[in-house]
Every structure is written in structure tokens, then in C-alpha cells.
Structure 1
């Protein structure tokens, strides 16, 4: 796995929060930016105290990743951190930002995966993109095409924000059908926000990974369905494709500010699921599955991007 401190064997990554954010900022969430390094450190310390060992940060290009701050945080807390390249929905960016990426988006992704993010020297370990509500608009198709190109050049996994948990099958049709990305290299996020068990099973049959990441104040009505959804998938034989994450996107949601934060995943979600699934399956969901989902056999040589 490509962490901010370098590549480590997947088996050393340990108990994993497969979708979260240490730093994040968007014009859609004014005043709630995750900018504090001390708060990020406190969250990692609290997560580690609950037995956590690794965090996958899905914050993509242009949304305040603060890549240079991630290595010292990882060293100081003893928690492995994987960070992302990629691009979120268009609403999170200015037209100038998006315009500057036209014609070179895949190149940016490949560079951040293989050389580093900006001048930080920190290399991303995954590509994060996003769909829309029950559909894929032109921006989503553009970013997913670039993500597929970058995947084919590097073998990096692609993690997908599903808006309110919808559009999973459209994403798989595009990425895995049309664009040839192996399903086992795709992680679908936010399945808990749309508890459609039939769609979950269809997506799981493709071989992709399904992330159940929350809790969420905005989508609390679906939180109580999550254990049933996870159990249904496990009973259908898809326990090896399940991931769990916290997805802390606002300052108020951090445990240091009175929210659930990163520790909640292990403090409350883990024992709740253990009652439904048993301790051993939950251990595999938190340790073995993310080890496979985010592990990469990085190529010795990346073909130079066409100029």
C-alpha cells in the first residue's frame, strides 16, 4: 500500500478506516473546513487508542489535502495514512480550476501517484472520483475516463463517491464495462446512504468493493439500516468485498469537537457489527479487505504521458 511515508506491505497496515478525511475544504461547507493539524493529530491519536492502525484519506485534488502535513502526522501518531489524487464533483471547484485541468487530468493523476503531490514529495495511493445523484453528468464521465487512464498506467485503485449512495451500477458500467477497469480495483463509497439491498448485491457480484462509511447527520435515517445491509451481503457470500469508514468531512463531526469522529468506527460501529456478523468477519472487513482493496503492484516504469 502506498502510504504518505512510502510503500508498506498490506499485511502491515492493520485495522483500517477505509474512507475518512484528515484535511478537507469545500465551498459547499463554508466554516466547516478540516484545516487544523492539531485536530487531525488528536483524531489519529483517538483512533489509535481504539486499536486503529491505518486511515485512507479520500480528499482529492484542490480540496485542501495538505499533503506535506501528512507524513509528520503519520510519524507522530503511529497511524499509517494513504492519501488520494482525483477530482470531486464540479460543484466543489471554480471554473478556473477545472479549466486549468482540461486536456491533462489523467496526467495530473499519474504524476501525483508516481512522483508526488505538488512539491511535497508525498505520493497518492488511490484515485478518488464522484458520481451524481442517480446519474453520471459530463463532469463525472470526464473525471472517470481520466481515472481509468491513470489506473491503466499505474494499477492504482479508484474510489468513487456515490451521491447519496446512488448510481452504483452506472459507475460500474462506465469504469468496468466501457473503460476496462477490473472491478476488484474499484471501491464504491456511501452504499449505506441508499439501503437498496438488490443494487448492493448486483454491485458486489461484479467483484468491486463496497464501502459503508458514516455515520452522517444528513443521512441519519439510513444509519440504522447499515448492519442489515452488511449482514445481507455477507450472507450472500460477499463478506470479502466489504469495507468500513468514518468519512469525517466537517470540523463539527470530529471527536475533538464533540462529534463522532474517527474513533466512532471502532468504538461503536465495530461492536455493533460484531453482534450481527461475528468478531472474525468484522476483523476481516477492517483488516484483510482494505489490505486487498488498496494494495497495488506498482509498475517499475510508467509510460511517459503523450505531450
Structure 2
């Protein structure tokens, strides 16, 4: 089952799933983003046409990946879900420096996991909305710093205690391999783990190691102007045998707090209306493309026992 902002759904109800997109994002440092900094009605009005277009393109479910302190707003998501007739999924978890509140640096891994576990079991505040996954980030570079290590370990603990999968912002192969080794030493089931922005790895050996451990590899930022390189990457990943661990999304949307009417919003529907036909015309199997956004995405995002 997938946990949406309106309740759990089955694979049949979920349909096509975009597993890494954004509604509202606010890059306000030190965890100081609050609802007072944006207008909820304006966000809903701005995003709704894009979700209606996505539903028209045959997508049933979209995963919003902004964690708390970076734009997560369960009230907006539930309204949009009702108005657009599309399933939306939100999260528990935190991002990375400098967008963390000060208490994150001070509390223990156990206390951090307790915050997220409570949201998973009791809902997010008074909203009545439950998270469907854990969203975290690793710092960009070659090694995980102490703060992001604590967040990673807390996410692993929360996943074990709640069954929620983890989506992790990961840029580059070195940082991915560091996290991979940490989870391997902890005997953590990496099938619970989704490597976001994996198109930045560019090393088939890395993809093979992550897939062999059970991890899900999310290829995103699939937007106009990138179709050719994404087709080439996907063909390469199929050739090296990791096609059954791949997810596809775009990382689009992005109502940016502080910009006039949210800035330059990017449509959600082009993966289905533009990229899939282009990829099929270039030789990728249309059935496999559909699996990436249906059975693969449902399995990756499902809550485990």
C-alpha cells in the first residue's frame, strides 16, 4: 500500500506514479520557513492547472519531496489532491545544511528518529495527514559529514520502526558509495532506500553495486533538452542489468517561496506526453518505461511490514 495525504491506496488505485516532484519549495536558511512567508491559496491556484494537466496525461499519483523546513505543507497537498483528483504523497524527514533548524545539530539520532516515527504513527501535527516516506539528503561531495550521518542513521531507524521507505537526495557516486557502505555495515535492507538524482553517478559499477544491494535508482531531471542524454543513460543501465531497479521522474513543479507567484513553474506532464514517445522512438521498450512508473515505483514507495 501507498500512504497518500488522503489515506492508503493500492497499486491499481495509484496507477502511474511520479516518485520525485515538488509543489512548494522555500530555501530559507536555519529552518525559518513558515506558512506566514507564503499564501496557501496562491500556491493552490498556481499549482492546480499543472496537476490537472498531469491527470489528463494519465498519471494517478505524484510524490511531493519537500521535507519539513523546506516547503512541506500537508494542508496545501490535501486541497490540491481533492481539487485535481490525483493522489499526492508527502513525507517526514529533514533536508541538509543550511536549511536545518538549530535543534537538529544538538539532539541525538534516537531523538531525531522519534520525531519522524511519531509523525508516521500519529500524523503530521493537527492536519490528519500521514507521511508516505522519509525524505533526507546527503551533503554534496565525497564523504558524509557528521550532521548528515546522524540524519541518515535516524532515517534508517525510522524506516525499520515504521516500514516507510527512504528517499535520499544524492549527488555524485562517491557520496552514494559512502552511504552504501554505512547501510551495508548496519545490515540495513537497502530495498527500503531510493537513490534520488542517480543520473549524476555516471559510473556503471556504482549503479550495479547499488542495485545488487537492492536499492532503487531514481533517474530524474528528465526535461526538454535532456531527452537524448537520458535515453542514452537508460539504455546503458539496461545493458548493465539494473533495469529492474529503475524509477523515472522529473523533479519539476517548484513554486518558489519569495518569488513572484512562485517563479517559473515547470509542468509535470511532459514525461508522459513528450519523453515516453521520444524514448520509444529511440528504441527503449514502452512496456519497460511504464513499469518504471507503475510496478517499480509502487514497490519502491510501498510501506513494508
- Relative to the length of structure 2, the TM-score reads 0.85
Provide the C-alpha distance between the structure 1 equivalents of 2:98 and 2:162, rounded to a whole number of angstroms. 28
Over 3 Å counting, the alpha-carbon distance change for 1:104 and 1:21 in structure 2 is same
Q: Which residue number in structure 1 is paired with residue 289 of structure 2?
A: 282
Which residue among 48, 51, 54 is the counterpart of 2:61?
54
Q: Which residue number in structure 2 is paired with residue 158 of structure 1?
A: 166
Provide the C-alpha distance between the structure 1 equivalents of 2:65 and 2:126, rounded to a whole number of angstroms. 20
Alignment RMSD (CA, Å): 2.9
Q: Which residue number in structure 1 is paired with residue 119 of structure 2?
A: 112
Provide the C-alpha distance between the structure 2 equivalents of 1:193 and 1:271, rounded to a whole number of angstroms. 24
Q: Which residue number in structure 2 is paired with residue 250 of structure 1?
A: 254
Unaligned runs of 5+ in 1: 299-307
Give the paired residue count.
291
Provide the C-alpha distance between the structure 2 equivalents of 1:16 and 1:151, rounded to a whole number of angstroms. 21
Q: How much does 1:292 deviate? A: 0.4
Q: How much does 1:195 deviate? A: 2.2
Partner SS state of residue 81, structure 1? strand
Provide the C-alpha distance between the structure 2 equivalents of 1:21 and 1:286, rounded to a whole number of angstroms. 17
Is the 8 Å Cα contact of residues 145 and 179 (structure 1) preserved in structure 2? no
Q: Which residue number in structure 2 is paired with residue 265 of structure 1?
A: 271
Is the 8 Å Cα contact of residues 221 and 250 (structure 2) preserved in structure 1? yes
The correspondence of residues 39-188 of structure 1 with structure 2, limited to 5 A, is: 39-95=46-102, 98-99=105-106, 104-132=111-139, 133-164=141-172, 167-175=175-183, 177-188=184-195
Q: Which residue number in structure 2 is paired with residue 305 of structure 1?
A: none
Provide the C-alpha distance between the structure 1 equivalents of 2:252 and 2:83, rounded to a whole number of angstroms. 21
1:205 aligns with 2:212: yes
Partner SS state of residue 233, structure 2? helix
Provide the C-alpha distance between the structure 2 equivalents of 1:263 and 1:107, rounded to a whole number of angstroms. 37
Q: How much does 1:250 deviate? A: 3.5
Unaligned runs of 5+ in 2: 30-37
Over 3 Å counting, the alpha-carbon distance change for 1:279 and 1:223 in structure 2 is closer
Q: Which residue number in structure 2 is paired with residue 14 of structure 1?
A: 15
Partner SS state of residue 242, structure 2? helix
Q: How much does 1:72 deviate? A: 2.1
Moved beyond 4 Å, runs of 4+: 96-103, 256-259
Q: How much does 1:8 deviate? A: 0.9
Q: How much does 1:165 deviate? A: 6.3
